Amino acid sequence: MADLTFKYLGKTYNLPDGFAQRDIPTLKKFLKSFNEWKSKGGTIESYLKLSGRGPRFDEQEGRLWRRLIDFAISGGKTAKRAPSDAGGAKYVQIFNQLKFPKKDIDALKNLQKKQGLLHRQD
């Protein structure tokens, strides 16, 4: 099986075995929203004002935000949306490639403390 990769903002990312190619567009949307969040201050307010927020966002990028919150809280050990989520390990590999600065990880932990909607069970 060929390695699955994608490019975003000039960087090539290697995706783990079992990652579905159909999920790459959602991953790219997530990265775009993450960069927007950072550029607008990395706060709960900037998260709530992200472009395209709404039910579709919550079902797509929002799922990855919840995984990222779990990744931040767990110290990079998991990225589960729910205790029974077996796909979280794939996202740990992806998030590790993104090399989030500590200040972003701390801000993500703070988001979860302030706003439970980011870490809902789904």
Q: Answer whether 15's CB lies under 8 Å from 7's CB.
A: no
- Tell me what pLDDT residue 42 has: 86
DSSP state of 116: G
Q: Which residues contact residue 39 at a Cβ distance below 8 angstroms, ignoring those fewer than 6 apart?
A: none
Which amino acid is present at 57?
A: F
pTM of the model: 0.82
pLDDT digits (tens, 9 = 90+) for 13-70: 888 888 888 999 999 999 999 999 989 988 888 888 898 988 889 888 988 998 998 8
Q: Which of 53, 52, 96, 59 is nearest to 74 (CA)?
A: 96
108/99 Cα distance (integer angstroms) = 14
